[in-house]
Structure 1
């Protein structure tokens, strides 16, 4: 048996980050790649639940939640695998291209799901897993941005990176709305191939994969090979490698604590985001009584507004120099406050609430659960506008600042694996939340989901305030 203490290099507190000159062209190329990947995720994700219910009447809220969770397991695993491949092969291009090819395969299967006579929801679940497996390769882009940006420019670099991601949240829903008039089952434009509101986005997603592969192949610059790329005997022991990288990143007990706080905060962000992505369509259809088509259009408009506000937020943050004028730790605290306010404002308080919609068997809309008679919802406009503010203003502040501070804590080390672990921590919540949110909503209703998520956000805010002063070294 190999002993870790015999194989792990000694990490000293004297290890310092080497300042590099920021490669803005490389960051721009990385931003284009993440934009194309995010467009695919945004445009596919909007219609997933309505489409599943449209083509497979046996699908349920719980099944969709489990399908989402399983897909996130594959993303967590693939993130680590892609990070390890990138590190050991010393290549960014190859694993990124493999990721896009997997996404292209998912598009092909998704477009053919209606050819099945039964059990279509299971093939859709496979497609979700393939899309998430492909998304696991995005961790490489995160580490690439860290590698080609200096410590002082890290915040601006991640602002541009996150700006590209948020721009995709505008383009995706807009593309979805372009085809909102092509109602299901649509028109047959190729033999046994239909074009409608749910399939049109997949064609766009397929095209983005071809463009992304071309950009990666032609414009993404490979970085010089690093001298220390081997862990010796522990190269084949993934747990040992993770232990070694965590030891290298955590030069002091304080840094270890801050890394763990970053993990917790990343998971907290994801809790709110994934909850919304999982159950907003359910809420609109069940609690508000909207049809699948109405819910899809409403979500598309909401996400378009989210993207526009997010781009404005990131533009102001980047070009007004907020990351340099104000400490990132306080900007992050502001983002947390926005989400606390979101749960308070969008909760169905007595002065604004309305009863949930009565079940309509003909349209298959409205509420038919045991909690329906005693449950309430806020005004639909208030609910959707509050989502826009939280996701369009609060989330960019959280994402930019946390990514930047976490990267600064890691320092000049090869960040591929630690960024991969960061994504795995994120995906733990991606795995749990779809099941948790769908089941809690199904069993107890809207109010219980909002109370539990709101309390988690308050606790996360308190934890951040406790460690606020400790992040001063790693925030602008």
Structure 2
């Protein structure tokens, strides 16, 4: 059968209706939200994120413990190398998923890489010297493995309607935040097993730094099972349903969709897409800085030993996760994405995060000298590594942690969810797998640059200049968003 062109249709080109409302109406059934598949994607995302978060806080203390030659700059370089692997393979996995019309195959491949990384990590005691390089190789492999989760972002757009998109992305975000609670809790539980711990197999030890990787190994196996048994390649299912329908109707519908997709592709607002890429710096810059400098700040400025650093870091992340989860639950169950305009929410959180660096700056009237170096604990400011040890100031750790948690807890997940929503609606009804993969690559490029930049600036000048630069970055991002406010608004209503 043929699709009739309404007489009053305002846009008709070569016999094909190009009116957006008509096409959206015809395609309505194909855009229904599949919450079962979104839930499975959230579970997979959560398991992947837990695998990563259980290791994060203890990375720097462990590297410093097993290799005296490890420096903050090397740690920053190792972190950047991990993100480089993540960036390259995020694009590879996205293209692979797009070409094969499958999310299961790339995800399974990434999980097998994670298994290899876990095995190397657990066997590090067999290495006699330069163990920091082995840890760096593990970070790179874990970065590659975690990049497989990129395909889930495009998968979410295929499983959800435009109306449900904020809730769908919030589900994905909630899984990540849940991992931030679970991962540090696992690390906190095992802090009572100090290094070098217990030898459970020849050359393989169980202690506060290795215990989480055992959990990660088990979760990786579980993730493989969930992906293989429960996850579906939704694009193939849609193609199957399409083939089972009336052939001529299918041809007409496909013709309409193809025409509309081509029209949308040719009329994409590339300026706004570029703005979304640029402001992504806000989310990544904030998270990358905190994750890179956090444990270094605790040990160098505050003088906390490795065990205390892991304990405080774990407790902090659990509180952060609870606050973030609360925000995302509001998105899912209270429809926060519909109540508050997401472009306004993103702007508010960007400004709030910029204020964090102003409030926690080490002013003379509110700060004390940095902790002196302790040879026994290898904590404190070592003047052989940092030239500013005798002149620098450190803000009160309670004040720093309180302000950071109160703002970062709700701001980071809100910024991520709101930007994903805005970006998705600007792209329109196209296959967004590669588009979201490209966003992840930009994300990872910043993760490559930020650790090196952060640790190098910290090594040379301390916290003060670093905090000033980050304040300026957030100010520029907020200004950019405001200048494009009206155009962004047009895509949301």
Deviation at residue 349 of structure 1 after TM alignment: 2.2
Question: What are the equivalent positions in structure 2 for 1:95-174 lying under 5 Å apart?
Answer: 95-174=106-185
Q: Secondary structure at the match of 2:366?
A: coil
Residue 463 of structure 1 is matched in structure 2 by 480
Pairwise CA RMSD of aligned residues? 1.9
Structure-1-length-normalised TM-score: 0.90
Which residue pairs with 1:302 in the alignment?
Answer: 316
Distance 1:102 1:114 in 2: 21
In 1: Cα distance, 2:467 partner to 2:66 partner:
30
CA shift at 1:331, angstroms? 1.0
Cα distance in 2, alignment partners of residues 112 and 248 from structure 1: 55
**8 Å contact 1:250–1:256 — kept in the other structure?**
no
Larger of the two Rg values belongs to structure = 2
**What CA distance in whole angstroms lies between the structure 1 residues aligned with 2:408 and 2:112?**
30
Kept in 1: contact 2:180–2:318 (CA 8 A) = yes
Shift of 1:13: 8.6
Alignment partner of 1:271 is 2:282: no
Question: Mapping of 1:254-293 within 5 angstroms?
Answer: 255-293=269-307
Structure 1 residue 249: Cα displacement: 6.8
What is the CA–CA distance in structure 2 between the aligned matches of 1:284 and 1:194, rounded to whole Å? 26
1:213 Cα deviation from its structure 2 partner: 0.7
- Between the aligned partners of 2:266 and 2:390, the Cα distance in structure 1 is 56
Tell me the equivalent position of 1:446: 463
Distance 1:407 1:29 in 2: 21
Distance 1:14-1:445 versus aligned 2 partners, 3 A rule = farther
Distance between the aligned counterparts of 1:76 and 1:13, measured in 2? Answer: 37
Task: Find the counterpart in structure 2 of residue 240 from structure 1.
Answer: none
1:325 aligns with 2:339: yes
Q: Is the 8 A contact 1:99 1:137 kept in 2?
A: yes
Partner of 1:37: 48
Asked whether the equivalents of residues 40 and 205 of structure 1 are also in contact (C-alpha less than 8 Å), the reply is yes
> Aligned to 1:371, what secondary structure does the other structure show?
coil
Confirm whether residue 199 of structure 1 aligns to residue 210 of structure 2.
yes
Q: In the aligned structure 2, how far is the partner of 1:128 from the partner of 1:315?
A: 31
Determine if contact 1:99/1:134 at 8 Å carries over to the other structure: yes
For 1:378, the equivalent position in structure 2 comes to: 395
Q: Whole-Å Cα distance in 2 between the matches of residues 67 and 287 of structure 1?
A: 21
Which residue of 2 is the match for residue 76 of structure 1?
87
CA distance in 2: counterparts of 1:308 and 1:162, whole angstroms: 13
SS at match of 2:374: coil
Cα distance between partner residues in 2 of 1:423 and 1:96: 16
The aligned counterpart of 2:492 is 475
Do the aligned partners of residues 474 and 208 (structure 1) sit closer, same or farther apart at CA in structure 2, a change above 3 Å counting?
A: farther
| Residue 252 (structure 1) aligned with residue 267 (structure 2) | yes
Partner SS state of residue 372, structure 1: coil
5+ unaligned residues in a row in structure 1: which ranges?
A: 1-11, 228-245
SS at match of 2:235: coil
Question: Which of 403, 416, 426 does residue 420 from structure 2 map onto?
Answer: 403
Q: TM-score, normalised by structure 2?
A: 0.87
In structure 2, distance between residues paired with 1:84 and 1:189: 42
Residue 470 of structure 1, CA deviation: 1.3
**Would you say how many aligned residue pairs link Structure 1 and Structure 2?**
446
Unaligned runs of 5+ in 2: 1-16, 240-260
The change in CA–CA distance for 1:366 and 1:139 in structure 2 (over 3 A counts) is: same
Deviations 1:177-217 (A, max 9, x none): 00010000001122322100000000010111111111111
Report if aligned partners of 1:158, 1:404 keep a CA contact under 8 Å in 2. Answer: yes
Task: Measure the CA separation in 2 of the matches of 1:320 and 1:294.
Answer: 38
Measure how far apart 1:412 and its partner are.
2.1
1:181 aligns with 2:182: no
For residues 162-183 of structure 1, the C-alpha deviation after alignment (integer angstroms, 9 at most, x for no partner) is 0111011000000000001000
